[in-house]
Chain A
Amino acid sequence: MFGYYLRLGIKSISRHPALSFLMMLAVGLGIGVSMTLFSLHYTMSADPIPEKSDQLFAVTLDAWDPEDSYRGNTQGLPPWELTYRDATALLESDIPTRQIAMHKSYFTLNMDASEIKPFMVTTRQTTKDFFEMFNVPFLYGSAWDSATDESLEQVVVLSKATNEKVFGGVDSVGKTIRLNTHDFRVLGVLDTWEPKIKYYDVNNGAIDESEDLFMPFALSAALELPFGGNTNCWKQEEIVGHQGMLNSECIFIQYWAELTSAQQKSEYQAFIDSYANEQKKLGRFERPINNRLDDVVSWIEINEVVPSDLTIMVGLAFLFMAVCLFNAVGLLLARFLAKSPVIALRRAVGASKRAIFSQHLVEVGLIGLGGGLIGIVLAVFGLMGLSTLIEDIDHVARFSWSLGAIAIGLSLGATLLAGLYPTWRICRVQPSSQLKTQ
């Protein structure tokens, strides 16, 4: 009977195209608005590396101002980043399965004798484990190894986009690029890697795209490469030159450890606490011991990567959807009740209440489906609009097939739920009273 009900539903919708479209539009408008904002929220709050997010920990130490907590935060959280010397000290530990210290930077990339004009690139100076730790895929070549980390060899890994821009997308391993005044040999090229949230460095643009280039962390000190991104200092101290910055209490290093078991995590926590206590003896870490290991999901939460405003807006959008559905239900009820004589006839010739209920629920489902499709179109345009209005959210404000499926599912579910009342009402039509009034 489903096919029959489907045919009847289509007939009913096509008999009143304007009213049907109005109902679908009401549903679609609610779905479109809510899915636009939900899509943003969903993307930003989704676990960016679900296969191992519970094994990756942002390491934070509280070496901040003894007179004032970091940025006056009320949650008692330590600073988001480490000093260079604390980071390099932690790298000495052999407890984590993998660990990385890193920072962001900017360079001018210029290619001699090339038609490509010099352009600014974002770079990440990191220890070698970055790629394995964050499951970064390679298209050509590979990451550097420990020996390269120590040998200070000037190598670089390009993002796929950078390789396409500079080398036309061909295998550029072994070729040379110039960053500021330094030459670097290309060691590898990444495949497409677009983490929706740059969870590994939320302090420098959580929704920014990943960097254009990656190079060994040790080169920063050796070549006195520039630091980029947020750098925060609390201590009145004289900072002279590049080395002065490395020795300062300024924080600008992101640090991550991969800890695959509770025991390993416990050991590592003890290690960083022990390190902090040693530093206390040397006159540093004057605040109470407050060293944290936060996994990826917690890290995203405590850093409020998803703005609370957005969460509120998503809630309001769903309320708006409820209002739209309420309107659609009103129209649906009017239309169903107008069909009372036909329902009475069907009941008279043998349709059970259940059959009438099913028939109309299928019709409601068709309206929900239409509303969902309209909602998807509106959400796509909505996200395009947001991308135009707000910079750097292109890769977050994208409509995916999975969100399309959620939109259809939500539209169907919400419409069917809302349609229960009109459907129930039409089932209660008394055939005798309706047929009598014919």
Chain B
Amino acid sequence: MLKMTHINRVYRTELVETHALREFSLEVESGEFVAVTGPSGSGKTTFLNIAGLLEEPTSGSYLLEDHDVSRLSDNQRAKIRNEKIGFIFQSFNLIPDLNIFDNVDVPLRYRGFNASERAKRIEEALDVVGLTSRVKHLPSQLSGGQQQRVAIARAMAGKPSFILADEPTGNLDSLMARQVIEILEGINAKGTTIIMVTHDPELARRAHRTVHVLDGQVANPEAHYSSLPAAVDASNNAA
């Protein structure tokens, strides 16, 4: 599904050169639920940005579903992001002007689906997160937990190959955080790969595997498919 090999990401200014990722290598199998942990500044977000094709690596190879995506044009990356990747952010990143329906609709619009197909997918996604009755609400009329569930619906409405979640429960209380993680687990159980950056050890423990990032490198490369259920591959293929 996702294979990064010797990825380097260097940020350069006139005076300083910062190595956010150094010889970073990671492989994620289809259907995995991977938690990425590490201290602030360790390179977790840079990894997530490169994995989500929001940034290009300075060097190294990135294969996504066996295709090299490390050197693509901006348009090609946008297309892959739209079709194969779902994003969930710590601060939800809903568009305040748009109601819930329209927020979930955003990636589908760029996908070119017709209105009925979009409506069907939006209803399905909102049903999974239990918010079908709130389609006309604006984000500001929802609680934090509900907003994050809308963000999850937006991420999964396009039926992506994998979801990248950056501290998805970071802004939520424990009850809402539990609801969100249960939804993510449910989505993963149906075969969608999830890569989640988190600081929360308890949350990380619920993943199949935890990858610890330190100084721009995977600190525990031996952590490999340790808890990937055998059934996942089969269900992913079915999806």
Interface residues of chain A, those whose CB is within 8 Å of chain B, are: 1, 4, 8, 11-12, 15, 341-342, 345-355, 431-432, 435-436, 438
Closest CB in chain A relative to B22 CB, distance in Å: 18
- With A350-B78, A432-B55 known as contacts, the answer to whether A1 contacts B89 (CB < 8 A) is no
**Interface membership of B58, Cβ < 8 A:** no
| Contact status A350-B97, CB under 8 Å | no
**Which B residues form the contact surface with A (CB < 8 A)?**
45, 49, 52, 54-55, 74-75, 78-79, 81-83, 87, 89-91, 93, 95, 97-98, 106-107, 109-111, 154, 158, 166
Chain A residues within an 8 Å CB radius of B166: 435
Q: Are A350 and B52 in touch, CB under 8 angstroms?
A: no
Known A350-B79, A352-B110, A435-B89: A345·B95 in contact at CB below 8 Å? yes
Residue of B whose beta carbon sits closest to that of A431: B54
Give the residue name and chain of the A residue nearest to B112 (CB). Answer: A1
CA distance A435 to B49 in the complex (A): 10
Chain A, residue nearest B82 (CB): A350
Residue among B45, B78, B91 facing the most chain A CB atoms (10 A cut-off):
B78
Sampled A-B contacts (11; CB under 8 Å): A1-B109, A8-B97, A347-B54, A349-B106, A350-B81, A350-B110, A354-B75, A355-B110, A432-B54, A435-B54, A438-B93
Q: Are B90 and A438 in contact (CB under 8 A)?
A: yes
A374 vs chain B, min Cβ distance (A)? 24
Nearest CB on B from A356, distance (A) = 10
CB <8 Å contact, A352 and B109 = no
List residues of chain A with CB within 8 A of the CB of B74. Answer: 352-353
Interface of A is mostly: helix
B78 touches A351 (CB 8 A): yes
The docked-state distance in angstroms from the alpha carbon of A355 to that of B107 is 12
In the assembled complex, the Cα of A353 lies from the Cα of B97 at a distance in Å of 21
* Bound Cα distance from A426 to B82, whole angstroms: 20
Q: Quote the shortest CB–CB distance from B116 to chain A (angstroms).
A: 15
A432-B49, A435-B89 known; A349-B107 Cβ under 8 A: yes
In the complex, residue of chain B having the shortest beta-carbon distance to the beta carbon of A12: B97
B54: shortest Cβ distance to chain A, in Å? Answer: 4
Residue of A nearest to B78 (CB): A352
Contacts of B89 in A (CB 8 A): 435, 438
Minimum C-beta distance from B129 to chain A (A): 17
A350 to B160, CA, bound (A): 12
A346 surroundings in chain B (CB, below 8 A): 106, 110
3 residue pairs, one from A and one from B, having the closest CB atoms: A350-B82, A349-B107, A432-B54
Given A4-B109, A435-B93, also A348-B52 (CB < 8 A): yes
Q: How far is the CA of A186 from the CA of B81 in the complex (A)?
A: 83
Q: Which partner residue on chain A sits nearest B76 by CB separation? A: A352
Residue of A nearest to B84 (CB): A350
Residues of chain B within 8 A of A15, CB atoms compared: 97
A349 CB to closest chain B CB, in angstroms? 4
How far, in whole Å, are A15 and B96 apart by their CA atoms in the complex?
A: 10
Q: How far is the CB of B125 from chain A (nearest CB, A)?
A: 13
